[in-house]
């Protein structure tokens, strides 16, 4: 996942995915392949992962609405890490090695089965602190990933083979550590999670310290963008169902309309802000690919949490949540602010010119947090602020481009 370009792939590796047999060698693809896009299998993979994200969001709603916010956020962070990390490892591996043969497809489908097992155990993890199904699902996904790396090692040699073996070994070692969530006392689970999450994060830098995998910048940017769209879509779906249920069961259109309008504006702004910059160009040359990839844990988690927060706000407005209006508002505004700041820090700031453009998103995040204290109008106001930030940012970009164009004309 590092960004320094690896040696050019041999012709055999570049054409590995072009064979017609049901089984082909799993060799590295070329980093500069033309027209590299997400495959139907990758899109199916993403959609199945959203099932787990939806379950995590539902349980977060229940925890926050019942006043168990701290415990709910901790469980959400732990479960979401497992979902995100398995997705991210597959995404970068597929970008470098996807040959789309029968065995590759079958092993990928096994990973999908693993995330569905994980999703089935999320409710028990939140309610009963029972992580057996979650750990089992995670182990299924990670063992399948290990099989992919071992297959890549068998099809390669030299430094590339060493990288693949390091990945396989690192993943296997980490699976042993995750068993601590099942066998150790409940009080030790937070420490197990922190240690093992750090260990997992260290595997890619260790594996690629001598040889980088040939991931494709445009493909990676597209995959992350598509998953962002899917998560935002799940957020809209969850919020829409909550609002619809409130209207059908309580005839509370007046109370829910500000929340619905504000939530929609927030999600629209979240989409606009993420996709306003062509990040694949920076990934091709930046030395911060690890930071960019890892930072999306906060992007995805906060985007999904916005939907959970909107559901909490709806329940509080209907009198079904045991929390204050301030707490319900914070359930929306805080993840929104985190999303804005993370997207700005990861890539938006690299495309901003001048201090004014640089400050738009950080100031917007601060204003969104301030909206928390506006009572029943907090969500609507946060949505308006988010939408205005998009308008201001677009206007500044257009004006800056016009000034540069005028300067260039005067220079000639």
Where do the domains of the chain lie, and which CATH numbers do they carry? Answer: 36-215 (no CATH), 218-411 (1.20.1410)
Tokens coding 386: 């988010």
CB atoms within 10 A of CB 16: 23
Residue scoring higher pLDDT (193 or 252):
193
What pLDDT is recorded for position 346?
86
Helix 289-317 vs helix 69-97: crossing angle, to nearest 10: 140
Tokens coding 1: 């996942």
What pLDDT is recorded for position 5?
40
pLDDT tens, position by position, 304-316: 999 999 999 999 9
Instruction: Kindly indicate the confidence band of residue 112, based on its pLDDT and cuts at 50, 70 and 90.
Output: very high
Q: Is the pLDDT of residue 14 over 50?
A: no
Q: Where is 38: in which H helix or E strand? A: none
CB atoms within 10 A of CB 210: 12
What pLDDT is recorded for position 405?
62
Alpha-carbon span 285 to 291, nearest angstrom = 14
Tell me what the mean pLDDT of segment 212-224 comes to: 89
What pLDDT is recorded for position 401?
59
What pLDDT is recorded for position 209?
87
What pLDDT is recorded for position 2?
39
What pLDDT is recorded for position 36?
84
What pLDDT is recorded for position 301?
95
**Looking at the whole model, is its pTM more than 0.85?**
yes
Residue scoring higher pLDDT (168 or 179):
168
pLDDT tens, position by position, 115-131: 999 999 999 989 888 88
Alpha-carbon span 345 to 359, nearest angstrom = 11
Cβ neighbours of residue 329 under 8 Å, at least 6 residues apart? 313, 371, 372, 373, 374, 375, 378, 379
- Please state, rounded to an integer, the average pLDDT across all residues of the chain: 86
Going 111 to 117 to 120 to 123, the CA torsion angle's sign is negative
């Amino acid at each position: 996942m590092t960004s320094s370009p690896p040696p050019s792939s041999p012709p055999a590796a570049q054409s590995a995915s072009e064979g017609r047999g049901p089984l082909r060698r799993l060799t590295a693809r070329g980093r500069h392949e033309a027209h590299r896009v997400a495959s139907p299998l990758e899109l199916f993979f993403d959609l199945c992962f959203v099932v787990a994200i939806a379950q995590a969001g539902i349980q977060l709603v229940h925890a926050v609405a019942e006043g168990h916010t701290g415990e709910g956020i901790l469980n959400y962070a732990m479960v979401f890490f497992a979902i995100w990390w398995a997705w991210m490892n597959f995404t970068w591996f597929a970008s470098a090695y996807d040959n789309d043969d029968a065995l590759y497809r079958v092993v990928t489908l096994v990973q999908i089965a693993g995330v569905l097992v994980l999703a089935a155990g999320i409710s028990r993890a939140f309610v009963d602190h029972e992580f057996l199904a979650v750990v089992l699902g995670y182990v299924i996904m990670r063992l399948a990933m290990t099989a992919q790396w071992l297959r890549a090692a068998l099809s390669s040699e030299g430094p590339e083979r060493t990288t693949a073996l390091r990945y396989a070994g690192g993943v296997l070692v980490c699976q042993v550590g995750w068993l601590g969530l099942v066998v150790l006392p409940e009080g030790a689970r937070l420490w197990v999670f922190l240690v093992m999450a750090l260990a997992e994060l260290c595997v890619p830098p260790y594996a690629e310290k001598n040889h980088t995998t040939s991931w494709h910048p445009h493909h990676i940017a597209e995959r992350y963008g598509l998953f962002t769209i899917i998560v935002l879509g799940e957020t809209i779906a969850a919020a829409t169902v909550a609002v619809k249920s409130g209207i059908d069961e309580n005839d509370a259109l007046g109370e829910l309309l500000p929340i619905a309008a504000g939530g929609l504006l927030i999600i629209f702004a979240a989409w606009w802000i993420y996709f306003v910059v062509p990040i694949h160009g920076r990934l091709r040359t930046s030395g911060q690919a690890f930071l960019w990839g890892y930072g999306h844990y906060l992007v995805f988690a906060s985007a999904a949490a916005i939907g959970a927060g909107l559901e909490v706000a709806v329940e509080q407005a209907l009198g079904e949540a045991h929390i204050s209006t301030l707490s319900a508002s914070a359930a929306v505004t805080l993840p929104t602010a985190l999303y804005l700041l993370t997207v700005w820090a990861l890539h938006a700031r690299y495309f901003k010119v001048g201090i004014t453009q640089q400050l738009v998103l950080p100031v917007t995040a601060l204003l969104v947090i301030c909206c928390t204290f506006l009572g029943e109008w907090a969500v609507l106001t946060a949505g308006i602020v988010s939408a205005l930030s998009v308008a201001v940012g677009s206007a500044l970009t257009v004006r800056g481009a016009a000034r540069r164009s005028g300067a260039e004309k005067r220079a000639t």
